[in-house]
Structure 1
Amino acid sequence: MLTNEMQMRAELLGKVLATGIEPLTALDHARKLWDFIDYGNNMISVTVTDDAADIFAECDIIGIRHGADGQWHRIAANRVVYDAEPAVFASHPIYSRIGPICVDDQHLVEIPAFYVRTERTGDEQTWLVSSRPAGGFILHPAFRNPDGSVAKAIRIGAYAAGQRDGDVAVGAGLKPWTSVSFDAAQERCEAIGPGWRMWSIYDLSAIQILAMIEMGGTDMQDLIGRGQVDGGGVVAGGDSRARWRGIHELWGNVWQMVDGLRIAADGTINVWSIDRPGSGEWVSTGVQYGPGGDHGYPVSLHSERGNGFDLSLLFLPSEVTSDQDDALIGDWVWGHWEGRETVAYCGGSWGLGVNAGVFALNLTHARSSTGTHIGFRPAFAI
């Protein structure tokens, strides 16, 4: 056998083993992959059939499960629990392509498109991601353009929006732009240029899913850093440890408005269409927000799906508790203000202590609300 052929086979087997699959199963999958490789004239051509697509996809499926034991476990394509070393994420086709980029003098972080699958069986809940289509997976709606076409990536403000000469500026050392209404924040984001908008609940969801898989849980204060949550007022962008993959102040410092989610006056959850997010097409899910006006830590999450919506992606609590030890997620959620339409804020502000976090959510405010503790973050898709 030629040396390059041996090396190729070894590399295929290594990649399949890296997913956590048992050795004999991995060997079988590697053989199937090899069958699709045709050598000729020292050139390699790879033909992928429909059946082979799932085999290739399994090589990069990675996820996390909250088990019946109450613990978080990283899992591979075959749901085998494993301890992922940093090198797994450094070479993973999704995580390895997350990185900083500067556009129009705005500092952003680019996240490549990925596919997602959620599962719920009894007390177990699972989130899986793949860089390729695979059985049971859908394109995460953060990567769907308003016209329904597929975006190759999203670019998220690396910092909350600041201001320079009356315009939005995203960069280190700038204090967040606060005391603006929801509508005004939308307008300021759109004024940056074509395609710019306020970040959405789907952008946030994509970040939440990727972060909890990489970090192995949801308590980012413990897993990454406390952040600006213990008093002292608002600090400049980049001055806290609340950051993941170059996205700073994901929790603490100031609340951040997010588009694409609102609770109707009667308590019905309304979201952007997952087929045309950001197009102005809203979906009334017909689902009542579970906790109503109650505040607390999420015990269980909404997982309803329907025409144009999938709540299993959004980490919306269907039930809350005041006891953090009994919670699924240890970030506080503020309930809906009954009788009025409310918008969503995320992350928490500088005085919320352990209640702040990347899953913290505030559903009490009208779109006209303002405050020195409320900011926003721009984004766009490409």
Structure 2
Amino acid sequence: MTQTTLTPSDAPALTTSLPALTTSSVAHPDTWNPTHQALLDNDAYLNATLASLSDSTDTRVGELDARVSGVEATSSVAVQRAVSLDWLYRGNRVAFELFTPGYTLIDLAPVPVTGGVNGDDSLDVASTAGLRVGDDYVLADGDAVALVRVSAILSATRLRLSANLGRDWTAGATLSRSSLDVRGAANAVAAVGDLYLSRPVNIGTDLDGGAVVLRRTLNAGEARLYYRDAYQTAWRECGWSVRRQGDGVPAGFADYEYMLPMRGDGALRLDITGEPMTIHHLVALGAPTGLGGFINPAQRPNTPTLSVPAAAATSIMERPTLALAGYSSPAGNAQAAVQFQVSATADFAAVLHDAGELPAGLSYPLPAGVLAVGKTYQVRARVRDVAGLWSDWSAASAFTTAASFVYVATPTLTGPAMNAVDIPEQPTLASSPFAVSGATDTHAASQWQIRSAAGSYAAPVWDSGTDTVNKTSVVVPAGKLQPGQNSYFLRVRHQGAAKGWSDWSNEVRVTTKAQFANVIGIVLAQTGGGAGTWRRIDENGNDRVTDASFFNTHPIYGAVSDVTIDGQAMVRIPAFYVKAGTLAAGPYAGRRFWSISDQPLPGYTLHPAFMVDGAPVAQFWVGKYQGTGDRGTKLGSVAGVAPAVAIAFLTLKAMAVARNTGGVTGFGLWNIYQLAAIQLLALIEMGGADSQSLIGQGCVNEMATQAVDNSLVAQATWRGIVGLWGNIWQIVDGLRTDANSRYMVWDRNGNKTYQTTGQTAPRSGTYPATFSIDSGALHDLSICFLPATGDELAANGSSGDLFYQNSGCIAYHGGHARGGAGDGLFYLSITDPESMVTGLAGTRLAKV
């Protein structure tokens, strides 16, 4: 049933037009009633009125239908289209341009132009608000379209362009992101010469990039796609690779897919040439769709050339490594695959061996059992790009096998792993063990090579040459690999003393870090529990799995090393950068963390242990052993003797400085910043703060002190620094308490001036639960592991070590021979004045 609703505007006409009541009614006289008759007359009038309105109602309904159609075209249809596109391209990172409000990548409403003069580089506009220096814009009027770049904002209504104008521009022109004509049905009609610029989009950081799918009129016109990002700062064109029709694509339209090697944030640009076209949508994805279609022959990879075996090569062994000279693509698309085939005939009518579709690379070790001795074979290969386009097969190359198969086996690269990412500047390359087929031999040498993804081994990034030392592993020299997520391919071969060189190994593809900074950190995931719950984290605050080899090859940890200076055993600590604070996101959001980097990064500062007299230094050296006496006049660091004890603080300090004679400089007592640097490095490597459990108990349960290299003392050793805790209290310079038990610490610039902090030390005889984050213009306690709160119960502590304090005292670290379980790397006692002398206290030598 159709229901008609009368609006309030209809009601007055009905109530004022009712006929007057009369007795001349068609009703039967016996039933006549004035009230009933009025109702009957009203019904009759309404029927007549509705009949007379039918024509106008049809007109209004038609108008409503038209309006609904317009709404659908710009909202529900757009949503429906977005949903269908999501179904088609789900699983990829996607950005949609649907040419309708809420579903557009255009980030600027047209700005009216008030004037621009031919040959001038300035442009007057209604408002420069919202315009950005360095961005490109579309300058258009009814006659012309131009791409311009803003180089400066001169005023609220004037800007400077990067190039002079090529014509006069008057009122009526606009500055915008697009000159396309967007129609009511959420389509864009593009005339020849039109331009389109997107806002910044991010479709991921993968080196192979993503793709753009453009649904447009199927005609001879060209929608030329360009992109630029942080790595490609100038506009770079990408031609379409495949075209799809049918399967949901409207008649007369096609989906054109472009490969897009854009990384991170970047912008897109369309230039329309050839013929006008209608564009339904643009979709940017984090990876190619793989849906196939008609291949653009102009975008196929170039036909490769075989390099190994060489043409007409002889004496080829059973398992040669087949190789191409290089890879190139007219579209600039990255390589995705390679395929090799071996045949007994030049026409490849019967393929003897097909490698199948292999990951990107230029080589393939042929397996055993394919080739026979004394036979001639043909080999060919082809390559595929990330768009799925295959090159033509290479020209076939003939080779002849040897009369017998005795050879050095082709090695395998075992590290880094295939497609490894975040490779540092100096990775370690590793190969399988040396082996010989059909005989015995000794491993004489190896040769390691690296090429760029777009390069070849004819001009490698690095070639070790014949290396007789690094036979199964080698560290890549500094300066060979470049940061910025660049891709490289690696290979190796072995040389036998009698049998000569093997074939080259398989290639391994790796990708370098965005920056060659080695970041590792630790988070206090939960306070208390006896020693806290600690977790190693990466630069993003996520869990980081490490092992001994990680730290041994880390540029900071691996460079901690023993040296002898002025006859004293010292340990070098290389400079590093530090960041501390509260994690904002991730699994440990809201938790306190500390992180180190071997290079400067945003948010990281040089650790103050490496600031001396206001200037940075590359390292400091700390005594390998607890301080020893050198003829009673100098402080030393030598094995086999007892530590220097029962000496007042100022005397120990003078003994350390006394080493600075005869051209020797920089010796002194170790200080709070140097200790904090060691604590942080050790904390991260241990993965926790309970040093007695994680490294060794040390000399903490003895009645007397021991020699500095005693086996008990040596249990408390981290990376060559012996007796870091236990045996004796070790006085630390640069830290004390004031009369109110507030921490006083040296300035962080290495000038040795004491700064009074805002942190009052917690109650004496407690176990640290949290650590201070107090900071000021010249100090930052967040990297010093000084307790902010403590608890009398060991079970509520976060380090497992004790803390003591008194006002006006100097700092003693590590505990002593009778300290027991409360001693450790984070033990701290600020309880005695400079004049205190005890047989339980000494110090440690340092040098800058």
Aligned to 2:372: none
- Equivalent position amino acid for 2:666 in 1: G
Q: Judging changes above 3 Å, is the alpha-carbon distance between structure 1 residues 354 and 56 closer, same or farther for their aligned structure 2 residues?
A: same
Distance in structure 1 (CA, Å) of the matches to 2:460 and 2:567: 46
Quick one: which of 188, 191, 195 aligns to 2:666? 195
Give the whole-Å Cα distance in 2 for the aligned partners of 1:225 and 1:201: 23
1:367 aligns with 2:773: no
Displacement after TM superposition at 1:123 (Å): 5.8
Question: Which residue does the alignment assign to 1:268?
Answer: 742
Partner of 2:786: 316
Instruction: Show the counterpart of 1:65.
Output: 523
User: In the TM superposition, what is the alpha-carbon distance from 1:165 to its structure 2 partner?
Assistant: 1.6
What secondary structure is seen at the aligned counterpart in 2 of 1:243? Answer: coil
1:206 is paired with a residue whose SS is helix
Task: Flag the 1:15–1:150 CA change in 2: closer, same or farther, 3 A.
Answer: farther
DSSP-derived class of the 2:514 partner: helix
Q: How far apart are the structure 2 equivalents of 1:200 and 1:16?
A: 35
Task: Map residues 10-49 of structure 1 onto 2, 5 A cutoff.
Answer: 14=420, 16=422, 42=460
Is the alpha carbon distance of 1:68 and 1:229 closer, same or farther for their aligned partners in structure 2, counting shifts above 3 Å?
closer
Q: How does 1:248-267 map to 2 (within 5 A)?
A: 248-267=722-741
Q: 1:63 to 1:12 in 2, by over 3 A?
A: farther
> Residues 12, 187 of structure 1: CA spacing in aligned structure 2 closer, same or farther, 3 A cutoff?
farther
Match runs of 1:157-168 below 5 Å: 157-166=623-632, 167-168=634-635
One of 280, 290, 304 as aligned partner of 2:774: 304
1:48 Cα deviation after fit: 6.5
* Cα drift, residue 163 of structure 1: 1.3
Q: How does 1:242-253 map to 2 (within 5 A)?
A: 242-253=716-727
* 1:101/1:83 CA distance change after superposition, 3 Å: same
Give how far 1:284 is off.
Answer: 1.8
Q: What's the CA shift string for 1:286-307, capped at 9, x where partnerless?
A: x14241x522100111101110
| Per-residue deviation, 1:99 | 0.8
Shift of 1:262: 1.1
Q: Cα deviations across residues 31-87 of structure 1 (Å, max 9, x unaligned)?
A: xxx89x9999655777779xxx993245x1001111148521111122221331111
CA distance 1:4–1:132, shift in 2 (3 Å): farther
Whole-angstrom distance in 1 between the partners of 2:836 and 2:602: 43
Cα distance in 1 between the residues matched to 2:677 and 2:729: 18
In 1: Cα distance, 2:815 partner to 2:362 partner: 54
Once residues 289 and 212 of structure 1 are traced to their aligned partners in structure 2, the CA distance between those partners, rounded to angstroms, is 24
Task: Determine helix, strand or coil for the equivalent of 1:309.
Answer: coil
For 2:456 and 2:843, locate their aligned partners in 1 and report how far apart those are by CA, in whole Å: 52
Match of 2:600 among 101, 111, 133: 133
Rounded Cα–Cα distance in structure 1 between residues aligned with 2:741 and 2:682:
29
Equivalent position SS for 1:192: coil
Q: Do the aligned residues in 2 keep the contact of 1:175 with 1:237 (CA within 8 Å)?
A: yes
* Cα distance between partner residues in 1 of 2:539 and 2:769: 26
> Of 687, 691, 694, which aligns to 1:223?
694
The alignment-based identity, stated in percent, is 31
Stretches (4+) displaced over 3 A: 1-7, 9-15, 37-49
1:231 aligned counterpart, secondary structure: coil
Distance in 1 (CA, whole Å) between partners of 2:787 and 2:625 is 27
Q: TM-score, normalised by structure 2?
A: 0.39
1:149 aligns with 2:149: no
Judged with a 3 Å threshold, the aligned counterparts in structure 2 of structure 1 residues 15 and 261 are, in CA distance, closer, same or farther, namely: farther
What CA distance in whole angstroms lies between the structure 2 residues aligned with 1:13 and 1:63? 25
Instruction: String of CA shifts for 1:78-112, please: whole Å, max 9, x gaps.
Output: 22213311110011111110110001110000011
Q: 1:169 to 1:42 in 2, by over 3 A?
A: same
Q: Name 1:74's counterpart in structure 2.
A: 536
Q: Distance in 2 between matches of 1:159 and 1:125?
A: 32
Give 1:184's aligned amino acid: T
Change (3 A) 1:174 1:17: same
User: What are the ranges of 5 or more consecutive residues in structure 2 without an aligned counterpart?
Assistant: 1-325, 328-359, 364-412, 425-451, 463-479, 485-511, 584-588
CA shift for structure 1 position 249: 0.7
Structure 2 equivalent of residue 84 of structure 1: 546
In 2, distance between residues paired with 1:247 and 1:214? 14
**2:545 maps to amino acid:** D
Contact kept in structure 2, 1:116 and 1:127, CA below 8 Å: yes
Matched, 1:56 2:515: yes
Give me the whole-angstrom Cα distance separating, in 1, the residues matched to 2:362 and 2:564. Answer: 41
Q: Which residue of 2 aligns with 1:27?
A: none
Unpaired segments ≥5 residues, structure 1: 19-33
Aligned residues of 1:61 and 1:130 also touching (Cα < 8 A): yes
Matched to 2:800, the amino acid is G
SS of the residue 1:202 aligns to: helix
Partner of 1:23: none
* Conservation of the 8 A alpha-carbon contact between 1:111 and 1:155: yes
Kept after mapping to 2: 8 A contact 1:162/1:175:
yes
Contact 1:54–1:134 at 8 Å: present in 2 too? no
- Give the CA deviation at 1:350: 0.4
The equivalent of 1:330 in structure 2 is 800
Q: Is the 8 A contact 2:743 2:759 kept in 1?
A: yes
Q: If each structure's strand is expressed as a fraction of its own residues, which one has the higher value?
A: 2
Match of 1:182 among 639, 644, 649: 649
SS at match of 2:651: helix
- Does residue 206 of the first structure (1) align with residue 206 of the second (2)? no
Q: Which amino acid aligns with 1:149?
A: A
What is aligned with 1:350?
Answer: 817
Q: Is the 8 A contact 2:701 2:818 kept in 1?
A: yes
Taking the aligned partners of 2:621 and 2:707, their CA distance within structure 1 comes to 21
Q: Is the 8 A contact 2:672 2:735 kept in 1?
A: yes
Corresponding letter in the other structure for 1:104 = D
Match 1:106 to one of 568, 572, 576:
568
Q: Give the direction of change, closer, same or farther, for the CA distance of 1:226–1:41 in structure 2 (3 Å limit).
A: same
Give 1:281's aligned residue: 753
Conserved? CA contact 1:62–1:74, under 8 Å: yes
Bigger drift between 162-171 and 200-209 goes to: 162-171
Counterpart residue number, 1:31: none
Candidates 610, 632, 640, aligned match of 1:173: 640
Moved more, 137-146 or 63-72: 63-72
Q: Deviations 1:177-203 (Å, cap 9, x if unpaired)?
A: 011111111111101112111000000
**Cα RMSD after superposing both structures:** 2.9
The answer on whether the counterparts of 1:334 and 1:364 sit within 8 Å (CA) in structure 2 is: yes
Whether the 8 Å contact between 2:742 and 2:761 is mirrored in structure 1 is no
* Structure with the larger helix share: 1
SS at match of 1:247: coil
1:162 and 1:254 mapped to 2: Cα distance? 12
2:541 & 2:837 partners in 1: Cα distance?
45
Kept in 1, the 8 Å contact 2:635–2:652? The answer is no
CA distance in 2, matches of 1:57, 1:189: 38
Larger RCO, structure (CA 8 Å, separation 6 or more): 1
Given that 1:68 and 1:123 are in contact with CA atoms closer than 8 Å, whether structure 2 keeps it comes out as no
Greater gyration radius: 2
Aligned-pair CA distance for 1:10:
6.5
State the alpha-carbon separation in 1 of the partners of residues 418 and 748 from structure 2.
35
- Kindly state the Cα deviation for residue 354 of structure 1 after the two structures are TM-superposed: 0.5
Identify the residue that residue 118 of structure 1 maps to in structure 2: 580
Post-superposition Cα deviations, 1:148-188, rounded to whole Å, max 9, x if no partner, equal 11110110000011113213221111111011111111111
